[in-house]
């Protein structure tokens, strides 16, 4: 019997008395509390420790299995992991939810209430970090040896409060009570270097070598978090790095009485992992951001190579044993770092080292917006990472030499594909580095990948015709349906069996039930219960009463101009005006729900939040709107809020400017929960339409190609303004203070961005089509049976958007590792 089996018998997850003993023991011996003098948080921590014990046994078995199989490992490098709360997900994945619920009820506690006390690990900004978390779940569920690497930020994404309609940011101290899921690893400690200078010398063979010396050092300490797959057979690992000073403090200064100076170096070093995404509008913020990126990349590569070197001595084997996925450009400095380690520390010849590097790395691009493609000034890079800049210069020189030989005389091509941007003050284009240094580059939706190859990276597509592939994003059904929507999950399982949880394509079996009146009624009852639950939460938290029988029209996502929350507001104002003037026609009662955070320095997005709240206030104060229209902004949107809102959504707003959204995953989460999408042909909306059928989605607006032609022919937003009276009125109300009587010009900048600054995101061009599409929504909602049928078909044909499918595509097309199917 193995140690794990022996321990497993001591803590049997199906034995209620055993679990009860374990819970009380943890409360007494780990929390140090008497069961009669405890708070809910004490019980939560005791419960979390017991669940972690169960995960740990499976975790060790998984790691042992990978080692014995000498399995090729996947390492997912991401600046963000928006993992959310872990308790409910862990219990469901290891199949012990009902048992622990019973244990807690026996001692007078509620599992649901205890779960609410868990602090959310908000280690991400939005879709990028949530995608990373979904992929870790799928890697474990598919029993693939996949490991995440990131940063253990002391303060994650800020906590958003709404004060007088404005977003106010507050620190998100998610570690204030500790994190019961993590294992600190003080023995896993790596030195990370910054600054210093590079010394050139010749080795004993007369070859030129380089040594990076006189550096400022920071230590990276590991914290491990188990990641359970569904069924509990495999538990993988997320390793997060925290910055520690190379020395605790200068004793000399301390003895002299200069206590601040004594700990100054320690404090500065440990600031590295304090905050997610420091404000990069300042020089200090940009420096900290770059240091964060290199910090976690350097520690991760040292850790990866240490694991590899345990049983392998020849670095030429690295691509056969290791696959490293770069989640966006933030970790792309890993490419020169691996080259530095191979060439400088292990003396691998440059050409061999480059071949190893390219075959090891792959890169996921997440944006088509030029301003969002990461660049660094050469000066800052030279100051912080002087050896890496030399390596990048050499990579660039060799690459441009190869390009010039293949495309002689095309100096324009050389300028466009160079890693060094000479036209805008000598900057390093990190996306170019990631493309050149990876064997595969993937987009995250079919349109996104096509536009990558035909617009921003078209030159690289010419140079590397086999490098670009598409792998459309996916979501984990374990969290976003099985956990978030227990009522619908139970109905689905009762109807088609439980296998959909690990094979989401099985949802197709629901399609015939869309024509079953009894099933439609039960489906509608689940949705109604979810809406009533959300209405109660909004009433309790915001003191806003909404009608649970109204159409729940929802746009919840990061606040950004291209996501066009402002277009949604224009529809709300138009709807308000029609109701005021008695021309609403077939409009049904609606509750329009917004949620999302704006970056602290993004003034336009923050002003839209204020506009939403001011419009909501005016509508709420108009008695004529009672029962017709309500607008709600849900503060502090995060994973937990999303799990509360998405099961209640009926209309999913996915209205970004065509060609701007890489993929989106909120659209997938809402569709699988029975919402119907209204959206443009952008990102994954296109594939959703293909899967659910054109009759089961509302599509409006210009396509990316049409917008391109419109701009080339001279787009003039004033033409749309003058041609549409409803649009003109809505914009005038915004700009002249109808919604801001205390400050009439408050929202004038938003209108100016549309009329005087070119309407970059084509709101006015799409307004009329959007309003017409919303009228179609109203007409359909008046037929509950037909609406429900289409909602069921959205669930039935959303199975392809599972993150399991996406991970299997990565495994087969990029990482070259076998899958179970």
Q: How far apart, in whole angstroms, are the C-alpha atoms of residue 255 and residue 258?
A: 7
467 is catalytic: no
* E strand intervals along 302-373: 322-327, 361-364
Residue 790 is among the residues annotated as catalytic for this protein: no
Q: Name the packing angle between helices 40-69 and 3-10 (round to 10°).
A: 160
**Secondary element (H or E) of residue 805:** helix 803-810
Model confidence band, residue 248 (pLDDT cutoffs 50, 70, 90): low
The secondary structure element, H or E, covering residue 784 is helix 784-796
Handedness of CA 435, 441, 447, 450 (dihedral sign): positive
Q: Are 611 and 734 in contact (CB under 8 A)?
A: yes
Q: How far apart are CA 370 and CA 446, in angstroms?
A: 19
**Which has the closest alpha carbon to 699: 708, 689, 714?**
689
Active-site residue (options: 359, 522, 527, 557): 557
Is there a contact between 60 and 105 (Cβ–Cβ < 8 Å)?
no
Tell me which of 366, 439, 520, 630 is the catalytic residue.
Answer: 366
pLDDT band for position 254 (50/70/90)? low
- Looking only at the bridges linking them, the beta strands covering 235-245 and 146-151 are parallel
Distance CA 285, CA 601 (A): 12
Query: Does residue 665 have an active-site annotation?
Result: yes
- The 10s digit of each residue's pLDDT in 325-364 is 999 999 999 999 999 999 999 999 999 999 999 999 999 9
CA distances from 294 to 192, 195, 430, 589 (A): 8, 12, 13, 52
pLDDT digits (tens, 9 = 90+) for 55-96: 998 999 999 999 999 999 999 999 999 999 999 999 999 999
pLDDT for 510 beyond 70: yes
- Dihedral sign for Cα atoms in the order 445, 451, 452, 454: positive
**Rg of the chain's alpha carbons, rounded to an integer?**
27
Q: Would you state the structure tokens that stand for residue 802, as one six-digit string?
A: 């599972």
Question: Given 85, 669, 691, 702, which residue is catalytic?
Answer: 669
Q: Is 533 a catalytic residue?
A: no
Among the options 85, 439, 563, 630, which is catalytic? 563
Cβ(74)–Cβ(145) below 8 Å = yes
Q: What is the spatial distance between Cα 682 and Cα 686, in angstroms, rounded to a whole number?
A: 6
Q: With residue 498 as reference, give the H or E element that holds it.
A: none
Q: Which position has the higher pLDDT, 318 or 248?
A: 318
C-alpha distances in Å from residue 126, one per residue of 76, 129, 568 = 17, 6, 20
Q: Which residues contact 9 (CB under 8 A, 6 or more apart)?
A: none
State residue 200's pLDDT score: 94
Annotated catalytic residue 366: yes
Q: How many CA atoms lie within 13 A of 565 on its CB side?
A: 29
- Give the residue-averaged pLDDT of 714-720: 97
Res 183 pLDDT > 60: yes
Region for residue 599 given its phi and psi (left: phi exceeds 0; alpha: psi -120 to 50; beta: otherwise): beta
- Half-sphere exposure of residue 613: CA atoms within 13 angstroms, side-chain side: 20
Name the phi and psi angles at 221, rounded to 5: -110, 140
Examine the residue annotation and report whether 401 is marked as an active-site residue of this protein: no
Among the listed residues 305, 296, 289, 324, the one whose alpha carbon sits nearest the alpha carbon of residue 220: 296
Residue 262 has pLDDT above 70, yes or no: no
Q: How confident is the model at residue 252 (pLDDT cuts 50, 70, 90)?
A: low
Extract the tokens encoding 504.
């989401």
Dihedral of CA atoms 513, 515, 521, 527 in degrees, nearest 10, equals 70
Q: Helix, strand, or coil here: 786?
A: helix
Please identify which of the residues 388, 448, 558, 575 carries the catalytic annotation: 558
pLDDT cut 90: percent of the chain above it:
88
Residue of 141, 329, 665, 680 marked active site: 665
Residues 6+ apart with CB under 8 A from 617: 165, 739
Q: Record the tokens describing residue 6, joined without a space.
A: 């022996």
Cβ neighbours for 560, distance < 8 A, ≥ 6 positions apart: 598, 602, 605
Read off the pLDDT of residues 464-499 as tens digits, 9 standing for 90 and up: 999 999 999 999 999 999 999 999 999 999 999 999
**Between helices 16-29 and 40-69, what is the axis angle to 10°?**
110
- DSSP 8-state code for residue 485: -
Buried b (16+ CB within 10 A) or exposed e, 145-156: bbbbbbbbbbbb
Residue 562 has pLDDT above 60, yes or no: yes
Q: How far apart are CA 524 and CA 786, in angstroms?
A: 11
Torsion of CA 481, 471, 148, 647, to 10 degrees: -20
Stronger pLDDT, 664 or 632, i.e. the higher one: 632
- Bridge partners (DSSP) listed for residue 520: none
Q: What is the mean pLDDT of the chain?
A: 94
Residue 578's pLDDT is: 97
pLDDT of residue 129: 93
Token code pair at residue 445:
């939706």
Please state, in angstroms and rounded to a whole number, the distance separating the CA atoms of residues 146 and 227: 10
167-176, 219-228, 478-487: segment of lowest average pLDDT: 167-176
Token pair for 529: 């219960």
DSSP SS3 for 411: helix
């Amino acid at each position: 019997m193995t140690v794990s089996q022996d321990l497993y018998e001591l803590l049997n997850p199906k034995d209620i008395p055993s679990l009860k003993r374990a819970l009380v023991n943890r409360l007494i011996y780990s929390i140090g509390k008497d069961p009669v003098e405890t708070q809910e948080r004490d019980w939560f921590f005791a419960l979390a420790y017991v669940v972690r014990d169960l995960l740990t046994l499976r975790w060790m078995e998984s790691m042992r299995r990978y080692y014995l199989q000498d399995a090729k490992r996947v390492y997912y490098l991401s600046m963000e992991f928006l993992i959310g709360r872990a308790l409910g997900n862990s219990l469901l994945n290891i199949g012990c939810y009902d048992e622990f619920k019973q244990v807690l009820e026996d001692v007078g506690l509620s599992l649901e209430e205890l779960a609410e006390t868990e602090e959310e690990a908000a280690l991400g900004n939005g879709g990028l970090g949530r995608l990373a978390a979904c992929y870790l779940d799928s890697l474990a569920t598919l029993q693939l040896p996949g490991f995440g690497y990131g940063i253990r930020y002391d303060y994650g994404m800020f906590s958003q409060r709404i004060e007088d309609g404005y977003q106010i940011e507050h620190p998100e101290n998610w570690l204030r009570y500790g994190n019961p899921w993590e294992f600190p690893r003080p023995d896993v400690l790596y030195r990370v270097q910054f600054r210093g200078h590079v010394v050139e010398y010749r080795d004993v063979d007369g070859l030129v070598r380089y040594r990076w010396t006189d550096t400022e050092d920071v230590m990276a300490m590991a914290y491990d978090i188990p990641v359970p797959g569904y069924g509990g057979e495999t538990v993988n690992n997320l390793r997060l790095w925290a910055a520690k000073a190379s020395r605790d403090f200068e004793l000399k200064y301390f003895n002299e009485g200069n206590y601040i100076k004594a700990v100054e170096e320690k404090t500065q070093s440990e600031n590295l992992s304090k905050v997610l995404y420091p404000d990069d509008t300042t020089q200090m913020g940009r420096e900290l951001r770059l240091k964060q990126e290199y910090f976690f990349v350097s520690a991760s590569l040292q850790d990866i190579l240490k694991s590899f070197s345990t049983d392998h001595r020849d670095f030429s084997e690295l691509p056969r044993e290791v696959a490293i996925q770069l989640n966006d450009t933030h970790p792309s400095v890993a490419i020169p770092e691996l080259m530095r380690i191979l060439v400088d520390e292990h003396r691998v010849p440059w050409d061999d080292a480059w071949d190893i590097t390219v075959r090891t790395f792959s890169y996921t691009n997440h944006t088509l917006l030029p301003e969002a493609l990461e660049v660094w000034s050469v000066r800052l890079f030279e100051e912080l990472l002087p050896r890496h800049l030399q390596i990048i210069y050499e990579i660039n020189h060799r690459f441009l030499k190869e390009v010039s030989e293949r495309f002689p005389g095309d100096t324009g091509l050389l300028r466009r594909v160079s890693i060094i941007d000479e036209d805008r003050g000598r900057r390093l284009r990190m996306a170019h580095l990631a493309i050149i240094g990876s064997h595969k580059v993937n987009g995250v939706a079919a349109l996104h990948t096509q536009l990558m190859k035909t617009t921003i990276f078209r030159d690289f597509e010419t140079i590397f015709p086999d490098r670009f592939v598409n792998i459309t994003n996916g979501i984990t059904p374990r969290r976003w349906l099985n956990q978030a929507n227990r009522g619908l999950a139970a109905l689905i399982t009762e109807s088609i069996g439980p296998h959909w949880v690990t094979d989401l394509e099985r949802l197709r079996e629901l399609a015939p039930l869309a024509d079953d009146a009894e099933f439609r009624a039960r489906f509608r009852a689940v949705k109604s219960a979810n809406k009533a639950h959300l209405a109660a939460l909004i009433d309790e938290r915001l003191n806003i009463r909404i009608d649970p029988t109204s159409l729940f029209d929802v746009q919840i996502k990061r606040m950004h101009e291209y996501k066009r929350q402002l277009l949604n507001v224009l529809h709300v104002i138009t709807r308000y005006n029609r109701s005021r003037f008695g021309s609403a026609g077939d409009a049904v009662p609606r509750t329009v729900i917004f949620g999302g955070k704006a970056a602290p320095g993004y003034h336009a997005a923050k002003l839209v939040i204020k506009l939403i709240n001011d419009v909501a206030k005016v509508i709420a104060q108009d008695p004529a709107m009672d029962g017709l229209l309500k607008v709600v902004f849900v503060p502090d949107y995060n994973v937990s809020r999303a799990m509360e809102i998405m099961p209640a959504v009926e209309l999913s707003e996915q209205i970004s400017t065509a060609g701007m959204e890489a993929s989106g995953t909120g659209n997938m989460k809402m569709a699988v929960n029975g919402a119907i999408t209204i959206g443009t042909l952008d990102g994954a909306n296109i594939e959703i339409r293909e899967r659910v059928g054109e009759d089961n989605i509302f599509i409006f607006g210009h396509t990316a190609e049409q917008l391109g032609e419109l701009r080339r022919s001279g787009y003039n937003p004033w033409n749309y303004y003058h041609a549409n009276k409803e649009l003109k009125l809505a914009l005038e109300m915004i700009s002249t203070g109808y919604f801001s009587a205390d400050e009439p010009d408050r929202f004038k900048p938003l209108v100016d961005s549309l009329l005087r600054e070119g309407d970059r995101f084509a709101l006015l061009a799409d307004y009329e089509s959007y309003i017409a599409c919303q009228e179609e929504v109203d007409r359909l909602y008046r037929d509950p049976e037909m609406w429900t049928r289409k909602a069921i078909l959205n669930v039935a044909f959303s199975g392809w958007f599972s993150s399991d499918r996406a991970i299997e595509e990565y495994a087969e097309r990029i990482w070259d590792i076998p899958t179970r199917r």
